[in-house]
Structure 1
Amino acid sequence: MTTPYEDLLARAQADPGVLGIVLTGSQARDGMATDHSDADVIVVVAEYGGAWTATTHSPELDTIPTSLADLADTSDRWRRYAYRGARVLLDRLDGRVGELVRAQATLSPAERDAWTREELDGYVNFVYRAAKNRRDGRPELARLEEIEAAPWFLWTLFSLYGRVRPYNKYLRWELETFPLPAPWTADHLIPALADRPSALFAELETAVRAAGFGDVLDGWGPELELCR
């Protein structure tokens, strides 16, 4: 008896209108799948229609029809990590599907520059707000600002190295499978982000200044001292 995943692959491969098949999610990433993991399959088509119109979900399988134009559209930042570590199972466009998958999973030089600047400024903003709340005797509000700072830190860090931010579920997998330079190990980052993201400020400042983004920090003027 075939599984829903096997049935989908057979149907998609038999359909000449299907341009590509991409496996993503935990099943695509070595060591991440559990007994509860479904298969997430992106079915690439020229245009939506027929059997490939809307995403369907089940405990065993998520089927995600995606047009070629949408696969080429990198404007949705959050969706892009779905393609990190994804496996191209079928490519009827002589490698084009694979190229688009890789483009989703990495940043262009222009994206790296723009994203790093934007996200770094946001991280500094929340660290600064947390510091002001601690200074003024509002620890609970400082904690809320720290929570807000964590995603901005992650976007900054991964953008700095030309990569898209991983979903939290895959953060350890990402850092251990595709390590960043020291000191950015999973055992260092994850506890700090869960406890107090502002504690990473000094190390991030060193990294972003070395990469040429010090002007973003300097734009904060004397207020930067409170962040430190």
Structure 2
Amino acid sequence: MWAVDILDEVLARAAADPVVRGVILTGSRARGTETARSDYDVTIAVAEQPQPWRHSTRTDALDEVVCTVEALTDTSVHWQRYFYRDAKVLLDRLNGGIAELIDRQATLSAEEAALHARTSLDAYVNQLYRCAKSRRDGFAEAALLDEAESLPWLLETVFALHGRLRPYNKYLRWELESFPLPGDWNTALMPDRVRTASLRLFPAVETLARCHGHAEVLEGWGSDIELIHAFAEAAGADRC
């Protein structure tokens, strides 16, 4: 009942305000993964306001953000785009325009995916190279930290190579269960497996990247790749 009251109140305010163009429910409540402590994440799109974004309400029950329609068209801030994954449009006064903007936020174009894959792949290789050097030189603790830092780049790379946004950690399992990746990736990236698998998965990421036309990123690292291969192979053998 509390949930209905909150959304009813938000929608009633929105309906009475001619400036409002749309109401969007995001977060765990939209995805059906909420707990008893989950609040309601609501974005209100308006025709105009002095600033593009502002927090209007932030309580234990409701986190309400107001933005302009123009701000909602801006897809340049990559990290926040997953926020709109599987969002629910509760009010759309633009005859489907709000829904289109939300879908655009949550979906990478082919060009965006390719660019992000290249950038993330390079960062992933860089961090694994640091990990491999630390292992080679006997700095075991540093190597573990280096590998841990490579994990976000692994996830960014693999999802981008599949044309998708990397989910927030909280929603990684939900994403894989709701929208499975092909082949072995769905199992490999499950949270209980991937958290210690970044180095071991390098050969599979390399193969995937080459298949998607990113060989030049890998070849740009020259013979340094061989050091990563050596420790990736050892990590795979240790698991076996």
* TM-score (normalizing by structure 1): 0.93
Q: For the residues of structure 2 that align with 1:133 and 1:174, how far apart are their CA atoms?
A: 33
Identity value in percent: 49
Q: For the residues of structure 2 that align with 1:94 and 1:218, how far apart are their CA atoms?
A: 48
Give the SS at the match of 2:103. helix
Deviation string for 1:105-134 (max 9, x for gaps)? Answer: 011122111100000000000111101101
Tell me which moved more, 157-166 or 71-80: 157-166
Name the structure 1 match of 2:125: 124
Shift of 1:48: 2.2
Name the structure 1 match of 2:232: none
Give the SS at the match of 2:195. helix
Give the SS at the match of 1:94. coil
1:15 aligns with 2:32: no
Deviation string for 1:45-77 (max 9, x for gaps)? Answer: 11126xx95342111111111111110000111
Shift of 1:188: 4.8
Q: For the residues of structure 2 that align with 1:136 and 1:24, how far apart are their CA atoms?
A: 46
Name the structure 2 match of 1:60: 61
Q: Give the letter for the 1:152 counterpart.
A: W
Gaps of at least 5 residues in structure 2 are: 230-240
Q: For the residues of structure 1 that align with 2:57 and 2:136, how far apart are their CA atoms?
A: 50
Conserved 8 A contact 2:47-2:68: yes
Shift of 1:191: 3.1
Q: Give the letter for the 2:25 counterpart.
A: L
Q: For the residues of structure 1 that align with 2:160 and 2:226, how far apart are their CA atoms?
A: 24
Shift of 1:192: 3.8
**Residues 25-44 of structure 1: pairs in structure 2 closer than 5 A:** 25-30=27-32, 32-44=33-45
The count of corresponding residues between Structure 1 and Structure 2 is 226
Q: For the residues of structure 2 that align with 1:103 and 1:5, how far apart are their CA atoms?
A: 24
* TM-score (normalizing by structure 2): 0.89
Q: Give the letter for the 2:13 counterpart.
A: R
Q: Give the letter for the 2:82 counterpart.
A: Y
**Residues 79-228 of structure 1: pairs in structure 2 closer than 5 A:** 79-186=80-187, 188-228=189-229
Name the structure 1 match of 2:73: 72
Tell me which moved more, 178-187 or 13-22: 178-187
Q: For the residues of structure 1 that align with 2:224 and 2:172, how far apart are their CA atoms?
A: 31
Shift of 1:158: 1.1
After superposition, the Cα gap between the structure-2 partners of 1:188 and 1:43, relative to the gap in structure 1 and judged at 3 Å, is closer
Q: For the residues of structure 2 that align with 1:164 and 1:35, how far apart are their CA atoms?
A: 27
Q: Give the letter for the 1:204 counterpart.
A: V
Conserved 8 A contact 1:24-1:85: yes
After superposition, the Cα gap between the structure-2 partners of 1:174 and 1:17, relative to the gap in structure 1 and judged at 3 Å, is same
Q: For the residues of structure 1 that align with 2:56 and 2:205, how far apart are their CA atoms?
A: 39
Q: Say what the alpha-carbon RMSD is for the aligned residues.
A: 1.8
Give the SS at the match of 1:185. helix
Shift of 1:10: 1.2
Q: For the residues of structure 2 that align with 1:139 and 1:48, how far apart are their CA atoms?
A: 53
Shift of 1:160: 1.0
After superposition, the Cα gap between the structure-2 partners of 1:166 and 1:35, relative to the gap in structure 1 and judged at 3 Å, is same
Q: Give the letter for the 2:128 counterpart.
A: V
Give the SS at the match of 1:199. coil
Shift of 1:187: 5.8
Gaps of at least 5 residues in structure 1 are: none
